[in-house]
Structure 1
Amino acid sequence: MENGLGNQSNKLIQDSRRTVYLDYLPPYQTDTVNEVVREIRVADRESLGILQTVTNGGEIAFNPMEHPSEAASLLMFHTSNLYNKRCLMAYHNLRLRRIRQYCWSGGKRMESCIDTSLNQAEQEYLFRYSELVAAYKGPWVDLDLTGSLVPPKNLFIDVRVLKDVGDIETEFGTISLTKNSQLYIRATDVERLIAQGYLVRLS
């Protein structure tokens, strides 16, 4: 867009286009998102200032025919804000869709980049959505709705604990999951913990 408006949003769209072809989720673009939000707020302030001036603080109606240059500026800021907001929504929608896919995959993707790629809000979303998936799955205890249709090659997997979990009960007894520990454990016993970001699969 002209005058540099929308340039930061374009970066988000470029990042989203790359993300579509990746098997992992790139780091959240905090600085770029903040710049887009700042640009929206600046445009709002500029628009309000123009309206306050031409309407004498709201005492008279705004007539675009009498103030063509101001009307053009208002249109530019309005169009810029619409563009920026759509880009923000598209960027975040793609990331949230990837997170949901991750939850339904049973934690088989994105394990290594949860802490580095997701911001705090996304990590909270991941945790809450994983809980919803687990609750939805609850009535069908013997049916794994998040499991792959392809039979697993190995029933046991190597995992590393990213966050302290404590003790969990398995068919083979109690297992303690402490941060940075590494275990060889049955996949079905820790799939939910992997999906929630507590563990990472190593193999």
Structure 2
Amino acid sequence: MYGVLADKLVQDARRTANLETLPLYPTDLVRAVVRETQDQYQRALAYHDSTDGLSSQDRVAMCALFVAQLCVRRNKRCLLAHENLRASRLDQAVWAEQELSAETMSNLSAPEQVYLREYTELVSDYKGEWTEVDLTGSLDPPKEIYVEVRVLQDAGEVQTEYGVFNLTKDSQFFVRQADVQRLIQQGFVQLI
């Protein structure tokens, strides 16, 4: 049945969206979807060639051509949606400056590892030009300059422009939002 493998790929993408780390890249499944898409494309070409000399009365061949083309398009969309989700997860990790674990790196395919390395270099080059501006911060202007935060995990001392504060678990601080924005993104503190 055509489209079953692409459905499995979409289900894998949905499952991946809810996980903290990227699971193992489904190489066999992706290859099977690509192979099925190529077979359908060849079948569509064969139907197209067979409909050249037919009258408009032969609708069976025309329907077969239409279904084959729809299968090819659907498989492509499912494959691209899966790849886009994995790439966007890698993009988020790069912009949040998260260090990917060895397990996550081993779960990436070879092209994903190349993409991650080159995208990291590109982002670091871009950030290097704008050292005074935090490009990873929120685009929304803050409503308040000072915010109250609760520390979620120990992180040691943090030096700010207005002093030093020690991040011990379950402690609360009233600090400038700009000073803790990076800590919020990294998950050390949360807004109250």
Structure 2 unaligned spans of 5+? 139-148, 158-192
Provide the secondary structure at the position in 1 that maps to 2:121: helix
- Alpha-carbon displacement from aligned partner over 1:108-156 (angstroms, at most 9, x marks no partner): 4x423333211111001000110111111112446664589x898147x
1:72 corresponds in structure 2 to: 63
Q: Are 2:155 and 1:153 equivalent residues in the alignment? A: yes
Offset of 1:41 from its aligned partner? 0.8
TM-score after normalising by structure 1: 0.63
Q: Are 2:74 and 1:86 equivalent residues in the alignment? A: no
Structure 1 unaligned spans of 5+? 156-203
- Alpha-carbon displacement from aligned partner over 1:141-186 (angstroms, at most 9, x marks no partner): 46664589x898147xxxxxxxxxxxxxxxxxxxxxxxxxxxxxxx
Provide the secondary structure at the position in 2 that maps to 1:138: helix
Query: 1:159-178, aligned counterparts within 5 Å?
Result: none
Query: 1:23-34, aligned counterparts within 5 Å?
Result: 23-34=20-31
Query: 1:11-160, aligned counterparts within 5 Å?
Result: 11-55=8-52, 60=53, 63=55, 65-108=56-99, 110-141=100-131, 145=135, 153-154=155-156
Offset of 1:85 from its aligned partner? 0.7
Offset of 1:28 from its aligned partner? 1.0
In structure 2, C-alpha distance between the alignment counterparts of 1:115 and 1:25, rounded to whole Å: 9
In structure 1, C-alpha distance between the alignment counterparts of 2:83 and 2:21, rounded to whole Å: 15
User: Could you tell me whether the CA contact under 8 Å between 2:23 and 2:104 is conserved in 1?
Assistant: no
In structure 2, C-alpha distance between the alignment counterparts of 1:139 and 1:48, rounded to whole Å: 50
TM-score after normalising by structure 2: 0.67
In structure 2, C-alpha distance between the alignment counterparts of 1:37 and 1:154, rounded to whole Å: 50
How many residues align? The count is 144
Amino acid at match of 2:12: D
